Structure 1
């Protein structure tokens, strides 16, 4: 049941040191992993913890469908903002990407309702887990004596990369000439090029960029004070970068690698939504295992109509069956996809699609959620990063994990690079390489399968992620029960 903050005392009469509050940003890619985290707590620690997820009224239905019954939902009123259309409460509902800064500013106005919710509880909760964009939660939580764990939605590799490069910029020669350079604090074997620098770092010097200003005004001064960092990844992928990440927070902070969270949640929170009939369509092709290429650029990436045209023609020319999730309702395919091509506009149950035996590869923007879902299904990737830290994720998958390769276009933080057109011939060639790639393709598939097994082992009994979740709960409880807490409250206020 969703309730307003003022009613929380009635709904949660026993709220206290056995109570964890989870507060995601209202963006699907940020919300889903924290819903999985809430579900994982309920599944594995429901006998000792109660979990509440905070959201806004317009997101309650989406959240409710993806949580097990014991997890409670509290709806805080979404603040009005003069630049936002009425009723827009999530980033995927924004009519234009240019409204994202206004949306973020509106979320910052949730500070008072959130403070009111905490004040309405009989006693402070054990911990708050909140999205890093909701920087106000750190200050409010500290004032209430609550430990806050921050969540960035990135791998430890990419997040540590962001923090490292924010302190020490790339050498000028590397920026201009594409020369690989080492990242301070990273293993010597890891080098990157300027095109792989995350967008937020590349744009940090642009003080006129509204998202950069929001991060400076509302996020950065609070994030580093967090008690810990929740990471949707696992040790086999990210153990080498956890200590680097921890070094950017206050002494004693931990990076908790507890993913893949959708597996940790026992896959209980995806729901059965398949409004486009993706799974029955794949079932018709189950007799040809690995024959379908799945294509998706996620819920946030904008792809121009010209690029969609080239992608459509290239997919048809590749000779491979394809299932393609397109976010644009205005674009019309310039070519008939035929019986072996399916283009859908609505929600796609992506994890179930990737796990389907008919699917053999994934053309992806390399958002971290999609990367994890592809690797957990053992599917190699054709990487087409566009924004944010996606190029760094592509670097991680292609050059360190060895389970993918890039489409070949530049993907730095510059707008011109991100919008470089990939022609239909290149699309067709790369899709065939992904699906038929000979010895190199077999090695890539073997690596993806290895990671699939490691992901499942991590969340299984005795696995690294399962143990990390247990240790996180134990440390939170012991620090409030007179045990050996890692830091006193004064150290993170």
Structure 2
């Protein structure tokens, strides 16, 4: 562990308790201590989450602190997500306050996920500056921030089957988008409860002392400029908050040895995230479509291993329960990524320069899919004709359509394939320049560290 610093800048990190939020918060903390070794970070998680991540490698001066398990278990949160979210908003504040009372060193700043609703209020009461960390795209933040515009234009509430193809072209900094490509929280069951809480979190972010985006300036320049102009606090773009500090070289696991034996750019990497998945019927179509495409693949299958296993062909495919995703994406044998379009996975694919086949399930994944395929032009969309913004419903994408899309994505010699890969390489270089010493995100990290150090 190493000894705790007894002086310097002490920061408390409050991530939202979900893998897609904890990972970017931890990666940000690693970036901060890599630039300023005398920073001490207290990383706050529930006791359950400490059991999940307590053994994962981290810098010596990032220390875990726990609050009791006052939330529904991570293992079951998808079964009643509104109840899980309500618990986060109502049950975390008191335990976090009690933890802050126990800390020996004074706190210079709190970095809290935007969805930790009460963090700003806690900071104000204690006179501690709070930085809100937004772990989705800057474009999605703007949609929530200007939600009243959707209402004024008659685009909320709306029946997607009747008006889903209407365009949203009036939000500052937000690219022209169809209503059906907005976050699914606007249109799904429980939308009133979830949307109301999300909007409350966005309003809270505007009251924080700093705004941190996990994107990078070159990826979403108009959206980030709009955020800077509309918020009255410093807004720093510090992405990509992905584990690139761990290196992108191959490891010694069996799946890396398998990748080493495959031709360059020949493997489709398939991973649909850690929270929700598609139906068994759709998974069967996906597995059959990938198999029928004739493309080599590496598939991360968690609960659906038996469904995916039938698609395997000896030597030409591999199914694993987990892998080091960024390192896999950076492996030269990988030529495409079938993704649910979570923001972290999107950033990792951009960092690796790998084109994507997009299969969004919920929330911000749908607008991310649209950006990937239509704005950045580094991917293809797998779309159901269900009018539901990319998820739900019984209409299946057939194995024939999936096989066609997989072959199209992996065809590096077609005109579209060459152009897609050229664009992916350009964004890869922009991403790596932003993160490199003297790059836009690197400079923003320095500025943020300077701010909180002076506040200390």
Q: Same fold (TM over 0.5)?
A: yes
2:234 aligned partner: 254
Aligned partners of 1:259 and 1:336: how far apart in 2?
Answer: 36
Give the drift of 1:122: 4.5
Secondary structure, in 3 states, of the residue corresponding to 2:44? strand
Secondary structure, in 3 states, of the residue corresponding to 1:97? helix
2:337 aligned partner: 362
1:445 aligned partner: 421
1:298 aligned partner: 273
1:18 aligned partner: 9
1:42 aligns with 2:23: no
Unaligned runs of 5+ in 1: 3-10, 482-493
Secondary structure, in 3 states, of the residue corresponding to 1:236? coil
Aligned partners of 1:44 and 1:122: how far apart in 2?
Answer: 24
Secondary structure, in 3 states, of the residue corresponding to 1:396? helix
Secondary structure, in 3 states, of the residue corresponding to 1:363? strand
1:114 aligned partner: 96
Once the two structures are superposed, residues 227-286 of structure 1 have per-residue CA deviations (whole angstroms, 9 ceiling, x without a partner) of: 12211111110221113234554x2x13211111225x6237999796xx422221222x
TM-score, normalising length: structure 2: 0.89
Secondary structure, in 3 states, of the residue corresponding to 2:219? helix
1:104 aligns with 2:73: no
Aligned pair partner of 2:167 in 159, 166, 180: 180
The 1:202/1:226 distance shift into structure 2, 3 A limit, reads: farther
Matches within 5 A, 1:183-202: 183-186=170-173, 190-202=175-187
Give the drift of 1:452: 1.0
TM-score, normalising length: structure 1: 0.83
The 1:329/1:442 distance shift into structure 2, 3 A limit, reads: closer
Say what the alpha-carbon RMSD is for the aligned residues. 2.9
2:356 aligned partner: 381
Aligned partners of 1:54 and 1:271: how far apart in 2?
Answer: 31
Aligned pair partner of 1:231 in 210, 213, 216: 213
2:258 aligned partner: 281
8 Å CA contact 1:258, 1:469 repeated in 2: yes
The 1:334/1:235 distance shift into structure 2, 3 A limit, reads: closer
The 1:441/1:58 distance shift into structure 2, 3 A limit, reads: same
Give the drift of 1:141: 1.5
Aligned partners of 1:330 and 1:338: how far apart in 2?
Answer: 14
Give the drift of 1:164: 2.3
The 1:322/1:330 distance shift into structure 2, 3 A limit, reads: closer
Once the two structures are superposed, residues 363-386 of structure 1 have per-residue CA deviations (whole angstroms, 9 ceiling, x without a partner) of: 111111111100100100111112
8 Å CA contact 1:132, 1:152 repeated in 2: yes
8 Å CA contact 2:144, 2:202 repeated in 1: no
Once the two structures are superposed, residues 298-321 of structure 1 have per-residue CA deviations (whole angstroms, 9 ceiling, x without a partner) of: 111221000000001000110100
Give the drift of 1:387: 0.7
Secondary structure, in 3 states, of the residue corresponding to 2:383? coil
1:433 aligned partner: 408
The 1:174/1:99 distance shift into structure 2, 3 A limit, reads: closer
Aligned partners of 1:416 and 1:262: how far apart in 2?
Answer: 26
8 Å CA contact 2:341, 2:359 repeated in 1: yes
Secondary structure, in 3 states, of the residue corresponding to 2:419? helix
Give the drift of 1:150: 1.3
Secondary structure, in 3 states, of the residue corresponding to 1:20? strand
The 1:428/1:146 distance shift into structure 2, 3 A limit, reads: same
Once the two structures are superposed, residues 53-87 of structure 1 have per-residue CA deviations (whole angstroms, 9 ceiling, x without a partner) of: 111222225144141222111122221x6xx4xxx
1:31 aligns with 2:22: yes
The 1:418/1:467 distance shift into structure 2, 3 A limit, reads: farther
Aligned partners of 1:97 and 1:273: how far apart in 2?
Answer: 33
Once the two structures are superposed, residues 393-450 of structure 1 have per-residue CA deviations (whole angstroms, 9 ceiling, x without a partner) of: 1122222212112123358656875653100000000000000150111010011111
Q: How many residues align?
A: 447
